[in-house]
Structure 1
Amino acid sequence: MLPFASLGRKVASGISLLMKQRKVRRSLAATVFFVILTLLISVDFMPQKVDLQLGDVSREDVYAPREVEFEDKDKTEERRQIAAANVEPQYEDNEQASGAVRQDITSVLESIKVIQEQGDLSNEEKEGRLRSLLHFSMSEQDLAVLARPGADSLKLLDTELNKYVAAAMEKGITQENLEETKKSIVTGIKSLHLDNAYINLGQGLTNYYLRPNKIFNEIRTGALEQAARESVPPVMVTIKQDEKIIGVGDVVKEEHMKKLEALGLTRSLASWRGVVGTALLVAILMLVVLFYLYQQNREIYKHAGHLYLLGIIVVVVLAVAKGLLAIDIDTWRQLDAQLGYMVPLAAGGMLIAILLDSRLAVLVLAIMSFLLVLISGGRIEFGMVGLISGFAGVYSVSKLSQRGDLVRAGLYTGAASVAAILTMGIIGNNSAGLVLSSGLILGTINGLLSSVLTIGALPYLESTFGITSSVRLLELSHPSNPLLKKLLTEAPGTYHHSILVANLAEAATEEVGGESLLVRVGAYYHDIGKIKRPYFFIENQMTSDNPHDKIAPSLSTLILTSHVKDGLELGREYKLPKDILDIIEQHHGSGMCSYFYHKALENNGAENVNEDEFRYEGPKPQTREAAIVMLADSVEAAVRSLQNRTHGRIEGLVRKIIKDKLLDGQLDECDLTFKDLDAIANSFLKVLSGIFHSRVEYPDMSKEMERRKNRNAGSRKQLAGKNPAQ
């Protein structure tokens, strides 16, 4: 057993190593999604409604759940065969055949005449020569008669036989009427009242030499037959919704089976050809999506988790569609046939737009609509409604600005579904009652279901795949968030500083084309680590007493730089997204605490101070968003401490800070360009000019207040000196 156990461990180890390879995992996931999608589209998992075979007696009434039009292939083929059979055969004339036949007959008769007139030959010799001359057999009695002279009989036979042959040739001899023509000529010969020997001679000559002068043209005839077949239109059979297909006690006939098959009521599994075709289609569509991502969004293409997310959304939405289409409502077959309008394709489109990319959502939505048509057995109206409602959903969530937009997206989706269902009902000539009921009820349910599924699935997908959606960012940006409330109450100065940094960073990000909402939220939380020791940071010091005056510069530096690590711990405790944690970790990079570094130099001398001890641990900003927050943080703090804030001094300070960060290497690992840095500086100046603008000096109001006070006092004295009786 030990060798087998060792072999098993080696195999398991090999499989484990294989599964750790990125390409293997992606290929395996693609195969799984491919198989699931193929089965969802091509296989009916639900029990069949009827179980009837040809010749069975039906035990129930079977009604058509929907309207279907299909081709009766047997009747179509029967009509096409009739059309092909009615085509006249096509022949080509052989002009040489007529002359050749008559020449051959005349030549034989002349040779017989010559033999008859040879007097030096005996009758036996003449019979022998006649036997050699003729290529068909004749009796000895006939040969004996023919050996004796009979010029008149030969002449009459020659004349009449050639006349009959010429008439037949002129009429046309084909392979089909050859025998009949021979019989007709022989009948004419028999009417000549000749000796039986000459009659038999004429019959033999006719049977041997007569041949068709019209040759059958198979190619032309086949082409005409094919044209006749193609001219016959397919025999279409229309089954109306709720039409009775077969009743109780009826014997199942061929026409019943055709209708049941067209409605999909007799097949539990698709044929192998259908499965293969569906598999090829799914493979092509998957390649289309991957090629699009490779060309247009390489970031998603390279991120395996995003591809898995995309596959899961498509599979789940189509599985919901499969389940809705399988519902059987006996009490209302009309509603049963319309349930495809409830398929929440818009939920898949909105999830992809929110979590991944709006343009990708449009492409995948179009593909899912096409697959819905296949799943529903060719119901194009279902696919069109899903496509239109999905477009409305994607458009409504493409620019989320608040959490209520998701609810509004559901309303837009429902309205689009109602309009699309009504339109498709009018096109399909459905009854007004059915159109209104299915449009208003199912369309509204579609919108609500799409919105509920999107809102419900979004948090789980975000946490599972580590994606920070705009909805999650909007939730984090709300002032009622517990962590922001904690920052406001325990470190109010830091909270106000974070708000200003967020304004600066968001304006700059919009200029360079980054994720402005992510930057704003990241700026809100970038200094949450200061909550642990708020009074060690100057913006939270309400008095002139500074605790750093009582401790060593190295300890002050340690306290200041530790707010990054404290912020990460606090962020993980409150389950902040990874993108926000990255901004918290990188918003100082490996920058230096210059004030305490220079203070240490003054106290201890350059030879006793290690510069690295006065730097943040890093890492440097890896994204443009983190870099912008770092620049905005530094600029806000510096401008706040600036005296006499004129526009020129603010601009000089802003550009100096950005230049210092650049020269210090803090921007080496992000993708900001010099053009971006100039745009960032200009956007900072616009915001700062609105915050720290010069104000109009108010006049001294003390003298005016004194004048009004004296005037009011004088008025009261005048009123008191008057006589009340006056």
Structure 2
Amino acid sequence: MASPPSKRTRSQRVATVELPPGRFSTLLGQLRRGVVVLRLAIAALAAALLMVMMQGWQPPRDFAPTQIPSRDLTARVEFKQPDERATREARSRARRFAEAVYDNDPAPLTQLVAQVRNEVLQLAAAESLETVDMAVWSPYLPTLAEGTPEPTDEEKRTEFERFRTALATEESRDLFGAALEKAIGPIADRGILEQQPVDANAEQILVQRAGAEGVQRDLAVRDALIDNVRNDLDQSLRRLMPTLDVARHVFARLRLDLPVTLKINENATRVQSDRKAEEVADVFRVYQPGDRLAEAGEPLTDARVALLELDYQQMLSDLSTGERIRRAISVFWVYAAMLALCGLGLYRTDREAVAELSRYATLLIAFLLACAGMLGTLLAAGSAWRLEMIPLLLLGMTIAVAYRHQSALLVTATAGLVAAIGLGWSVGETIVAVAPAAASIALLDSVRHRSKLLVVGFWAGVVAIITTLAVGSIESQPLWPTLKLAVATGLWPVIAGSLLTVSLPLVERIFNVQTDLSLIELGDPAHPLLQELVRRAPGTYNHSITVASIAEAAAESIGARGLLVRVGAYFHDIGKMLKPGYFIENQSRGVNQHDTLVPAMSTLVIIAHVKDGSDLARQNKLPQCIIDFIEQHHGTTLVEYFYRQAQKKSLDQDDDAKVDESRFRYPGPKPQTKEAAVLMMADAVESASRALVEPTPSRIENLVEELTRKRLDDGQFDECGVTLQELHTIGESLIKSLTAVYHGRVKYPDQETA
């Protein structure tokens, strides 16, 4: 006999109660899932790419040409600015004080010395003053001082005799020649200068032998000036000549004809002045931290921008490796946090955007390309005209076309914050960039016309103009520059709308979405598949047209995409064209091909139109959203007619085997979207309503309610997110549409023959 179960104590019963996990436990559980970890890793990689792209290890510039700062801009570090004016003045001074280069040609002086020696020999050989050539002797006579009486003839003879007697012997003449060479030698070596150099160093010159360029030596100007040379020559002759009289007479002769041997070399002088100018180091102006670099309210000129750039570059060079690493890690963390929060927001508002890995990766790539575009336009054109707004506007419009508006606003705001951090936007600049992007997203409800994006761009441009003027007023910016910037920012949304209009087919292909414009083109009755459906299965075509009409109205009643449902309804039964005779809407009166088939085989034929339709759609390159309608419009519903027939046949044959219900169900999947659920209901009620003998409004209402209840109980709406309230709204719309289709008509009496 089994023992009775032991009775648990209160504490044991309390211990067995398990509370639902808290938020932290739930978060940890999610982080253990591989798909979540993969998406977080991709987001982290994107954050790292953003950090590298925006050079997160260094702060961005907070200035731009023509910008009007709202506060004084001061130096952050000590830096030097090349003072071009002072440098030019210093180099000009160096040119002025550079030594002039002279060529020394002593040949005229040598010739003069030889001539003097010959003349002295001639004078020494004369017997008396009367026999001497006065043209030779006259230059040797010293110039009388002013007021001195003219010497007598006797004094002249006596003076000549003393000169001749001093040089009468050959030895004395040799001594004279040696003394003359010794006195003239240093003068010939250093040269004789007529006047001081002009526009050059007045105290020092460079001397080189004529014809021997490159070998230069310094020479004091005072030592080469002809007046000083004469004085030096006079002193030397007095010291070296045999007698003072000889020295006086020889100096008188040399003084008159002493030649200038130094001639300026223009080319060498120019080279020397250039060399001296190059040797002058650049002159810098030193700025200390806190020095004002630009005044508030004054537009930044090129000179101010250059000054601010020097301060910025010096600040970057002063950053240590540790500071750069810390900043890079901080920027990466901020970017990663923003991307994570953006992903969380997308998961809650538009789960499809992150649930499918390919769409998630495409979204991140578009985000990175937009950020790269903003950076590229900033580097190429600067920030004066805010061209970087165009990539942000394109991102917002593209995401609004491909995803939901909430997702587009979230992604655009995140991109704006990334740009604010990476590009150094101020609060006002960020508002001016994000506001028109948000306006374009809000206005971009559907793209049914080619001009839609241009209209959206125009109104977003109006928002940009108003926002720019408002921000400029708040920041006390001058009116005229703000007005010019407002006009430019108002133009960029129009350009962005034009670019997106041109690239819309590419956007649809990349993001695998269909805009209303492409759906309108796809729903053209001249489409080859629809034309083939008309030819092969006209009854199915008429059924599809009716379903499209009532389904579109039902979808729009709950805020779904009515146009998408309508186009999907056109193609949802194209698989029936392969075996049209097996479907009642295409059968002739009294002919039913299922009469020769067992229920299971009939079910296979009926179910096959779903797979045949999806295969046809793929062969004809229909978009995936239309293929989804074909596959989901029956969900996993039961082919009830043939299932009941199979059950009845089993009972008639006393077969104990139970009929497998799963063999009589469509393969599915169940509707995954509200639009697919609407099409399922419209298809079902339109087909069933054809069997009504008298389709009165009450009978139509009962039919719609019954079919809705059946599919709800069968769980067909479990995966599409449609609510009971929306099902009720869909039912009301279908009842109204079917009542309009099958409305009663006045019966006219038969026409009588006259």
TM-score category of the 2 structures, normalised to the smaller one: 0.5 to 0.7
Q: What amino acid does structure 1 have at the position aligned with 2:609?
A: H
Whether 2:367 is the aligned partner of 1:314: answer: yes
Q: Which residue number in structure 1 is paired with residue 341 of structure 2?
A: 288
Tell me the SS of whatever aligns to 2:380: coil
Higher mean displacement: 29-38 or 663-672: 663-672
* Greater share of helix: 1
Match 2:743 to one of 661, 683, 693: 693
Distance 1:388 1:673, change over 3 A: closer
In angstroms, what is the RMSD of aligned CA positions?
Answer: 4.4
Provide the rounded CA distance (Å) in 1 between the counterparts of 2:669 and 2:76: 72
Q: Which residue number in structure 2 is paired with residue 586 of structure 1?
A: 632
Aligned-pair CA distance for 1:326: 1.2
Please tell me whether the aligned partners of residues 305 and 465 of structure 1 are also in contact (alpha carbons under 8 angstroms).
no
Tell me the SS of whatever aligns to 2:54: helix
Match 1:29 to one of 26, 38, 42: 42
Q: Which residue number in structure 1 is paired with residue 545 of structure 2?
A: 499
Match 2:705 to one of 639, 652, 655: 655
Output one character per residue of 1:617-647: Cα deviation in whole Å (capped at 9) or x when no partner: 4225243543432232121011123222222
Tell me the SS of whatever aligns to 2:745: coil
Distance 1:587 1:366, change over 3 A: closer
Aligned-pair CA distance for 1:349: 1.4
Aligned-pair CA distance for 1:28: 2.7
Aligned-pair CA distance for 1:501: 1.8
Match 1:532 to one of 578, 587, 590: 578
Provide the rounded CA distance (Å) in 1 between the counterparts of 2:614 and 2:36: 33
Provide the rounded CA distance (Å) in 2 between the counterparts of 1:672 and 1:423: 43
Q: What amino acid does structure 2 have at the position aligned with 1:362?
A: L
Tell me the SS of whatever aligns to 1:531: helix
Q: Which residue number in structure 2 is paired with residue 237 of structure 1?
A: 294
Q: What amino acid does structure 1 have at the position aligned with 2:366?
A: I
Aligned-pair CA distance for 1:319: 0.9
Provide the rounded CA distance (Å) in 2 between the counterparts of 1:263 and 1:480: 64
Please tell me whether the aligned partners of residues 72 and 236 of structure 1 are also in contact (alpha carbons under 8 angstroms).
yes
Q: What amino acid does structure 2 have at the position aligned with 1:644?
A: E
Distance 1:560 1:31, change over 3 A: same
Aligned-pair CA distance for 1:419: 4.3
Q: Which residue number in structure 2 is paired with residue 396 of structure 1?
A: 443
Tell me the SS of whatever aligns to 1:366: helix
Provide the rounded CA distance (Å) in 1 between the counterparts of 2:708 and 2:745: 28
Q: Which residue number in structure 2 is paired with residue 361 of structure 1?
A: 408
Distance 1:630 1:430, change over 3 A: same
Aligned-pair CA distance for 1:479: 4.1
Tell me the SS of whatever aligns to 1:245: helix
Higher mean displacement: 355-364 or 608-617: 608-617
Provide the rounded CA distance (Å) in 2 between the counterparts of 1:346 and 1:566: 42
Distance 1:678 1:241, change over 3 A: closer
Please tell me whether the aligned partners of residues 638 and 665 of structure 2 are also in contact (alpha carbons under 8 angstroms).
yes
Whether 2:689 is the aligned partner of 1:639: answer: yes
Distance 1:325 1:702, change over 3 A: farther
Distance 1:399 1:581, change over 3 A: same
Match 2:670 to one of 600, 615, 621: 621
Match 2:605 to one of 559, 581, 588: 559
Q: What amino acid does structure 2 have at the position aligned with 1:243?
A: T
Match 2:397 to one of 321, 343, 350: 350
Please tell me whether the aligned partners of residues 509 and 680 of structure 1 are also in contact (alpha carbons under 8 angstroms).
yes
Q: Which residue number in structure 1 is paired with residue 379 of structure 2?
A: 326
Provide the rounded CA distance (Å) in 1 between the counterparts of 2:720 and 2:384: 56
Provide the rounded CA distance (Å) in 1 between the counterparts of 2:65 and 2:560: 56
Aligned-pair CA distance for 1:461: 5.4
Please tell me whether the aligned partners of residues 347 and 451 of structure 1 are also in contact (alpha carbons under 8 angstroms).
no
Output one character per residue of 1:357-394: Cα deviation in whole Å (capped at 9) or x when no partner: 31232233233233334444435554333212102210
Aligned-pair CA distance for 1:447: 2.3
Aligned-pair CA distance for 1:440: 4.2
Q: Which residue number in structure 1 is paired with residue 248 of structure 2?
A: none
Alignment TM-score, normalising by the size of structure 2: 0.56
Higher mean displacement: 521-530 or 470-479: 470-479
Distance 1:483 1:403, change over 3 A: farther
Please tell me whether the aligned partners of residues 529 and 568 of structure 1 are also in contact (alpha carbons under 8 angstroms).
yes
Provide the rounded CA distance (Å) in 2 between the counterparts of 1:269 and 1:362: 39
Distance 1:292 1:657, change over 3 A: closer
Provide the rounded CA distance (Å) in 1 between the counterparts of 2:451 and 2:306: 53
Distance 1:70 1:667, change over 3 A: closer
Aligned-pair CA distance for 1:397: 1.3
Higher mean displacement: 513-522 or 276-285: 513-522
Provide the rounded CA distance (Å) in 2 between the counterparts of 1:416 and 1:590: 49
Please tell me whether the aligned partners of residues 73 and 235 of structure 1 are also in contact (alpha carbons under 8 angstroms).
no
Please tell me whether the aligned partners of residues 446 and 515 of structure 2 are also in contact (alpha carbons under 8 angstroms).
no
Please tell me whether the aligned partners of residues 43 and 336 of structure 2 are also in contact (alpha carbons under 8 angstroms).
no
Distance 1:286 1:590, change over 3 A: closer
Q: What amino acid does structure 2 have at the position aligned with 1:28?
A: A
Aligned-pair CA distance for 1:534: 3.1
Q: Which residue number in structure 2 is paired with residue 715 of structure 1?
A: none
Tell me the SS of whatever aligns to 2:682: helix
User: Greater RCO between the two (CA within 8 Å, min separation 6)?
Assistant: 2
Provide the rounded CA distance (Å) in 2 between the counterparts of 1:378 and 1:234: 24
Larger Rg: 2
Q: Which residue number in structure 1 is paired with residue 51 of structure 2?
A: 38
Output one character per residue of 1:13-70: Cα deviation in whole Å (capped at 9) or x when no partner: xxxxxxx94344323311221112112333699xx9xxxxxxxxxxxxxx95645552
Aligned-pair CA distance for 1:261: 3.4
Distance 1:377 1:561, change over 3 A: closer
Please tell me whether the aligned partners of residues 350 and 394 of structure 1 are also in contact (alpha carbons under 8 angstroms).
yes
Higher mean displacement: 294-303 or 386-395: 294-303
Provide the rounded CA distance (Å) in 1 between the counterparts of 2:535 and 2:314: 67
Provide the rounded CA distance (Å) in 2 between the counterparts of 1:685 and 1:292: 38
Distance 1:349 1:694, change over 3 A: same
Provide the rounded CA distance (Å) in 2 between the counterparts of 1:291 and 1:21: 16
Provide the rounded CA distance (Å) in 2 between the counterparts of 1:690 and 1:523: 19
Q: What amino acid does structure 2 have at the position aligned with 1:39?
A: V
Q: Which residue number in structure 2 is paired with residue 548 of structure 1?
A: 593
Provide the rounded CA distance (Å) in 2 between the counterparts of 1:268 and 1:569: 64
Distance 1:38 1:24, change over 3 A: same
Tell me the SS of whatever aligns to 2:295: strand
Distance 1:446 1:654, change over 3 A: closer
Alignment TM-score, normalising by the size of structure 1: 0.58
Number of equivalences: 497
Distance 1:339 1:586, change over 3 A: closer
